[in-house]
Amino acid sequence: MSAKEDYQELEKRARELGLIGASYALLEWDHQVNMPPKSAETRAEMTSYLAGMMHEKFVDPKVGELISSVESSDLVKDPESIIAANIRELRHQYDKETKLPKELVEEFEKTTALAHGIWAEARKNNDFKTFEPALKKIVDLTKQKAEAYGYEGEPYNALLDNYEPGATTAEVADVFEKLRVELVELLAKIKDAPNQPDGSIIERPYDVKNQQIFGELVAKTMGYDFDEGRLDIATHPFTTAFGPGDTRITTRYNPNRLNDALFGTIHEAGHALYEMGLKKKENFGMPVGDSASLGIHESQSRMWENMVGRSKPFWNYFFPIAQSMFRESLGHVSFDEFYAAVNYVAPSYIRVEADEVTYNLHILLRFEMERAILNGDIKIADVPGEWNSRFEKYFGIKVDNDANGCLQDVHWSAGLMGYFPTYTLGNIYAAQFYAQANKDIPDLEQRVERGDLLTLREWLRENIHQHGQRYRANDLCKRITGEGLSHKPMMDYMNKKFAEVYGY
């Protein structure tokens, strides 16, 4: 067969995998949104069957041969071409997927499946000791995984690469350290500032039906198309996509708090716009039809949630509508009071409830801890102590118990080490992209003020969404902004915004 035919065969196989993947994702969506509890066992059997099938089909030696054939042909002559990008990423995925011994994969799955229940129980009882043996085993297996993948420098590189292909621990650590110093300074200024917002404004009764109508209105205004999506309720909100024409978002409503559903919906709609903007029809199942990295994905949700959704121009348009829908709670609140309240900053224990400023400190703490654990610099038994002393240093508050400390997140029990940094990478990229969008569209904020959010959506589609994995995250950022990963635009944005909100 010619290299061209081999490439077509790869496309055909990728499409098949894409179809199985979409079916898997649909079952998972149903699991989180609709499934009756007694179906859990059957559902687990269904999804693990499909997962096994995808793995088998992908690691087929024939796939490796097809990739090699195209690699050694003229088809990849131009490294910037779509074919070259697809082959680059298929090679990367194929090598990773075939490097792990089957026994290790099975052992890892068994261990993490059991660990979830142990972790949930330990968190409920504030008892790290009962989770310690499971965590130790997960860390041991994770180290074995890193060894099997292979890495330069430290083992963390092999894990980070699973979620942020091409990123290195050293460069991320360098940017994060600069960020940490400036965030701690910013937090100190906020703490002593003259204007302290009244955060209680958002902690009032907000009619759930109206929260839903309002959330849908915002999502529609952003360009989320309900003819190719749905908004449903889930305990842990997420976005999922089943190929071209079907991208779904979920949220959860708190009748006594406006922020959870509102900013949650904006966040997930930001993820969804990325999925909707990928060229899936032409590249279904292929890397170019898929998102660039978790960091880039998160940059899309966080830009909409924070840089747009917590901005003055956005609320100049939406506040009167919100006031008319939530008369009792917002009728007597001024614009400035409301704007300050949605930008309220206060150190707290729980990452998922954190504000825009302290959120990243939560991530930096986890990144540091994971890296040290993997390098053997922190013993598992010392995790709570190390966590608590670092937490106090960054946040200025003492951790009262492990449920509010090192036991709060599900990630480690699921074996997801190397994942956390992508949240802050997302925030950093979001600020870099948003600064560039404002340069390219000088009247962007005036447009947002008029309720025109589609101009920004178009810019994102053109510059980011349509490319999928054609460029790796850092290269994409360089192409768009002329610079690689940099914490500066994010700190500029935060320093300006919070100096104004807090009046210092």
Q: Where do contacts with Co ion occur on this chain (CB under 5 A)?
A: 301
Nearer to Co ion, 11 or 164 (CB): 164
Q: Which residue is nearest to Co ion (CB)?
A: 301
Nearer to Co ion, 263 or 318 (CB): 263
- CA dist., res. 158 & res. 229, Å (int): 35
User: Which DSSP letter does residue 456 get?
Assistant: H
Distance in Å, CB of 100 to Co ion, minimum: 27
Distance in Å, CB of 351 to Co ion, minimum: 12
Nearer to Co ion, 387 or 419 (CB): 419
State the helix-helix crossing angle for 208-222 and 312-325, rounded to 10 degrees.
150
Distance in Å, CB of 52 to Co ion, minimum: 28
Three-class SS of residue 474? helix
Neighbours of 376 (CB within 10 A): 10
Closest residue by Cα to residue 128 from 438, 381, 417, 456: 381
Nearer to Co ion, 63 or 490 (CB): 490
CA 421 and chain centroid, separation: 9
Nearer to Co ion, 69 or 301 (CB): 301
Closest residue by Cα to residue 346 from 501, 155, 172: 501
Distance in Å, CB of 483 to Co ion, minimum: 24
Nearer to Co ion, 155 or 264 (CB): 264
Establish whether 16 is a catalytic residue: no
Nearer to Co ion, 300 or 343 (CB): 300
Nearer to Co ion, 291 or 301 (CB): 301
Residue carrying structure tokens 């716009």: 273
- CA dist., res. 401 & res. 82, Å (int): 51
Q: What is the 3-state secondary structure (H, E, C) of 343-372?
A: CCCCCCCCHHHCCHHHHHHHHHHHHHHHHH
Residues whose CB is less than 8 angstroms from the CB of residue 39 and which lie 6 or more positions away in sequence, other chains included: none
Cβ(390)–Cβ(219) below 8 Å: no
Cβ(471)–Cβ(166) below 8 Å: no
Three-class SS of residue 49? helix
Closest residue by Cα to residue 484 from 494, 492, 476: 476
Kindly provide the residue ranges of all beta strands, DSSP E only, lying in 192-350, ordered along the sequence. Answer: 231-233, 239-241, 247-251
Q: Are strands 247-251 and 231-233 parallel, antiparallel or unpaired?
A: parallel
**Which among 11, 89, 268, 305 is annotated as catalytic?**
268
Tell me the two tokens of residue 376.
Answer: 């053997």
* C-alpha R_g of the chain: 23
Distance in Å, CB of 286 to Co ion, minimum: 24
Cβ(477)–Cβ(429) below 8 Å: yes
Catalytic residue annotation: 268
